[in-house]
């Protein structure tokens, strides 16, 4: 596989990330491949030496969520803790306990976040459906107003105004709800992919 093929496949694997995070990763690999090509290495050899896309994607998803067992600093203290405890230093032995608490807190927090996001997404999708129906109604009211105008011009004009307001307000609300639901679904995808199995 050449560089372009690799970047494209990687891009697909990490499509659950937001644009910034995705670009950061893609430019990281792109730069590495370019640098190695500048050093005279063969393009396809470089790509194959990067290893399987599964491993790369796994490493990436791991880096976007601190799983309790790979929590950088706090667990780094663990191998040292038994040593300090056995030598009588009690101050250090508190550190891992604190870390465990904060991990539990993180897990609870992310569960709450998932529930809130699901509720938000559901409400937003409901709002989108409702506003789309209202938009269709608005269009009918608008068409009706032209017919009405031939009988009573001013009443028809008022109806046209009402129709325009209905359409405008619903367009704005549906657009906002649509954006919110997309955001919450994207965030959900990230959270779920990060949740330790």
Our CB check for another protein shows the closer of 10 and 160 to be 10
Tell which one of 28, 105, 109, 140 touches another protein (CB under 8 A). 28
Residue 58: how many other CB atoms lie within 10 Å: 12
Tell which one of 32, 108, 112, 157 touches another protein (CB under 8 A). 32
The reply to whether 34 sits near another protein by the rule CB under 8 A is yes
φ, ψ dihedrals at 50, nearest 5°: -70, -15
Tokens of 137: 């109604």
Residue 177 CB-density burial (10 A; 0-12 exposed, 13-18 middle, 19+ buried): buried
Map the footprint of another protein across residues 69-108, applying CB under 8 A.
70, 72-73, 75-76, 78-80, 83
The reply to whether 25 sits near another protein by the rule CB under 8 A is yes
Q: How far is the CB of 34 from another protein (least distance, A)?
A: 6
Q: Which secondary-structure segment (H or E) carries 41?
A: none
Q: No. of H helices and E strands in the chain?
A: 8, 0
**Angle 117-121-127 (CA atoms, 0-180°, nearest 5)?**
145
> How far apart are the C-alpha atoms of 137 and 123, rounded to whole Å?
21
Q: How far is the CB of 184 from another protein (least distance, A)?
A: 23
The reply to whether 119 sits near another protein by the rule CB under 8 A is no
Q: How far is the CB of 83 from another protein (least distance, A)?
A: 8
Q: How far is the CB of 62 from another protein (least distance, A)?
A: 6
> How far apart are the C-alpha atoms of 107 and 57, rounded to whole Å?
22
Q: How far is the CB of 70 from another protein (least distance, A)?
A: 8
Q: What is the CA radius of gyration of the chain?
A: 28
> How far apart are the C-alpha atoms of 32 and 81, rounded to whole Å?
38
Map the footprint of another protein across residues 37-76, applying CB under 8 A.
38-39, 50-51, 55-56, 59-60, 62-63, 70, 72-73, 75-76
Q: How far is the CB of 69 from another protein (least distance, A)?
A: 9
Residues that bind another protein (CB under 8 A): 25, 27-29, 31-32, 34-36, 38-39, 50-51, 55-56, 59-60, 62-63, 70, 72-73, 75-76, 78-80, 83
């Amino acid at each position: 596989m050449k560089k372009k093929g690799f970047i494209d496949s990687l891009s697909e694997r990490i499509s659950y990330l937001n644009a910034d995070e995705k670009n950061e990763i893609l430019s990281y690999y792109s730069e590495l491949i370019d640098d190695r090509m500048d050093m005279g290495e063969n393009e396809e050899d470089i790509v194959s030496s990067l290893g399987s896309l599964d491993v790369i994607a796994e490493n990436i998803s791991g880096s976007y969520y601190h799983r309790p067992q790979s929590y950088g600093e706090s667990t780094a203290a663990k191998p040292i803790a038994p040593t300090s405890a056995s030598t009588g230093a009690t101050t250090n032995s508190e550190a891992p306990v604190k870390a465990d608490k904060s991990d539990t807190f993180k897990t609870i927090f992310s569960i709450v976040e998932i529930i809130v996001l699901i509720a938000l997404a559901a409400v937003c999708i409901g709002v989108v459906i409702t506003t789309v129906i209202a938009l269709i109604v608005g269009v009918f009211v608008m068409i009706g107003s032209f017919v009405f105008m031939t009988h009573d011009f001013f009443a028809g004009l008022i109806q046209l105004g009402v129709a325009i307001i209905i359409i405008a307000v619903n367009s704005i609300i549906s657009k906002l709800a649509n954006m919110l639901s997309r955001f919450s679904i994207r965030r959900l995808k990230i959270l779920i992919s990060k949740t330790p199995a």
